[in-house]
Structure 1
Amino acid sequence: MVLVLDVGNTNIVLGIYKNEKLMVNWRLATDDKRTADEYGIQVMDLFTNSDFHIKDIEGVIISSVVPNIMYSLEHMILKYFKLKPIIVGPGVKTGINIKYDNPREVGADRIVNAVAAHELYKKPLIIIDFGTATTFCAVTKEANYLGGTICPGIKISSDALFERAAKLPRVELVKTPTIICRNTVSSIQAGIAYGYAGQVDYIVTKMKQEMIDLGQEEPFVVATGGLAKFIKQESKSIDEINHILTLEGLRVIYEKNR
């Protein structure tokens, strides 16, 4: 079995794969102040409570966009699993040809998502990841990573409104039945839900046209991340949601580098 870790700015998502099957997945808060032992205790508890055993893990792979946490995580894996993890980055085989001006600037999570989506769909793709930031990535049928767009995430946008506008409250992220609202809370909720869906649709429309101009077929749009379902309720652009896209990409990359 293989342990995969997707380290984001807000959460660390862990999964255990047996061959191509995801057996279990968990979510921890990202905290770069935790030590290797603190993370080790947390992970051991997760294993114990789910009836999995450390000795059954034959490999570990990590994708991270948080450099400050890597010392603790790598040492946790070495100490508790007695394994050297594969770290997604330069020198790791992905099968994706990155067309960025500087390929080292592309976040590991974006590369991993591109690997998974290409493996699953084998067609031109736009991949949207609704995380702390929202990323849009364009990948051709031939596995060329063309680049994309990065926007503030939904939670960041919502929190900024609360923190910078003295009279506006923090609100729950829900879609209102109408966009003309009669109270402040609903007005903010409508602005976030409909405004963000509109942003998604506009960016996807522009990206599709640019990819078609390059000779690609109309891209398939796949979304992942915790708020993908929330936005898909109103967005007209998202074809499919895959909540384990990043974990699938880590599994594929592990197989390419084992």
Structure 2
Amino acid sequence: MLVAVDIGNTNIVIGFLDGNRILGTYRITTNAGHTSDEYGIMMLQFLGLKGLKPEDVDDVIIASVVPQVMHSFRSSIVKFLDIDPMIVGPGVKSGLSIRMDDPKSLGADCLADCVGAFTLYGGPVLVADFGTATTFNYVDERKAITAGLISPGLQTSAGSLVSGTAQLPEVEITRPASILAKGTKTAMQAGLYYNFLGGIEKTIAQFHREIDEDFKVVATGGLSSVFKDDTDCIDVYDPDLIFKGMAIIYRKNI
């Protein structure tokens, strides 16, 4: 069994994979203050929930965009599972080339998403990840990541709206029943939702205008499914794309 760990700015998501089958996923809050013992105990608890033991884990792969967490989390894997995990980053084979101004600046999560999308759904492909930040990365038919875009995520936008005003409350991120809102909370939900949806569609349309070839659009990330009933710009929704991409990267390197 392979344990794949996605360390993001908001959450750490842990996936247990048996070959191509995902046995389960678990999510915890990213906290640079956690010790290796705390992360290790959480990992053992998640394994126990699936009826698994540390000796059932063959290997671990980590994709992280939070350097401050890496030392304690990696140490927890070494200490509690007796495994030195594979880290997605420079020197790790992915099967894709990165043709950007600074290839090393591409996030490990984006790379894993692109590997998963191109391998599973073919190319060319535009990969959209809706997380703390919303990212779009384009992979051409020659297996090259040639362009990327980063914008605030929906939850990040909602947080900025609340923190930057005196009276607006926190609201649940959800698809509103109507754009004809009649209260503060519903007005915020409708405004956030439709503003974000419009941005997604405009962004994808601009990629189509500037790229002289047809391509698929694959969406992933915690908030990707929120929009699936309101747009036909997205071809595939795959919430587990990063784990599938990490498993592919792992196999390429062993």
Q: Which moved more, 1:62-71 or 1:47-56?
A: 47-56
Mapped to 1, the partners of 2:15 and 2:207 lie a distance apart of 32
CA displacement 1:205-251 (0-9 Å, x = unmatched):
11122222xxx3x1111111111111223233111210100000110
- CA offset at residue 101 of structure 1? 0.4
Give the residue type in structure 1 aligned to 2:51: D
Measured in 2, the distance between the counterparts of 1:47 and 1:180 equals 46
Tell me the distance in 1 between the aligned counterparts of 2:164 and 2:126.
33
Once the two structures are TM-superposed, the CA of residue 61 in structure 1 deviates from its matched residue by: 0.6
CA shift for structure 1 position 178: 2.9
Pairs within 5 Å for 1:141-152? 141-152=141-152
Alignment-derived partner of residue 27 in structure 2: 27
Query: Are 1:246 and 2:231 matched, yes or no?
Result: no
What is the CA distance between 1:49 and its match in structure 2?
Answer: 2.1
Q: TM-score w.r.t. structure 1 length?
A: 0.95
TM-score (structure 2 length as normaliser) = 0.96
Look up the match of 1:227.
Answer: 223
Question: Mapping of 1:9-88 within 5 angstroms?
Answer: 9-88=9-88
- Verify: 1:175 aligned to 2:171, yes or no: no
User: What is the aligned-residue RMSD (CA, Å)?
Assistant: 1.2
Partner-residue secondary structure (3-state), 1:28 = strand
Per-residue CA deviation, residues 80-102 of structure 1 (Å, 9 max, x unaligned), is 11111110110000011101101
2:120 equivalent to 1:120:
yes
Which residue number in structure 2 is paired with residue 184 of structure 1?
A: 184
Within 2, Cα distance between the matches of 1:236 and 1:137?
19
In the alignment, does 2:2 pair up with 1:6? no
Structure 1: gaps (5+ residues): none
- 1:194 aligns to what SS in structure 2? helix
Residue 103 in structure 1 maps to residue 99 in structure 2:
no
Consecutive unaligned residues in structure 2, runs of 5 or more: none
Deviation at 1:130, TM superposition (A): 0.6
The alpha-carbon deviation at position 32 of structure 1 amounts to: 1.0
Deviating 4+ runs (over 3 angstroms): none
Q: Is the 8 A contact 1:222 1:238 kept in 2?
A: yes
Does the 8 A contact of 1:126 with 1:138 survive in 2? yes
Share of identical aligned residues, percent? Answer: 37
Alignment partners' CA distance in 2, 1:210 and 1:76 = 45
1:14 shift after superposition = 0.9
What residue number does 2:139 align with? 139
Distance 2:31 2:167 in 1: 31
Cα drift, residue 135 of structure 1: 0.4
Report what 1:193 is aligned to: 193
Counterpart in the other structure of 2:89? 89
For the Cα contact (< 8 Å) 1:198–1:235, is it kept in 2? no
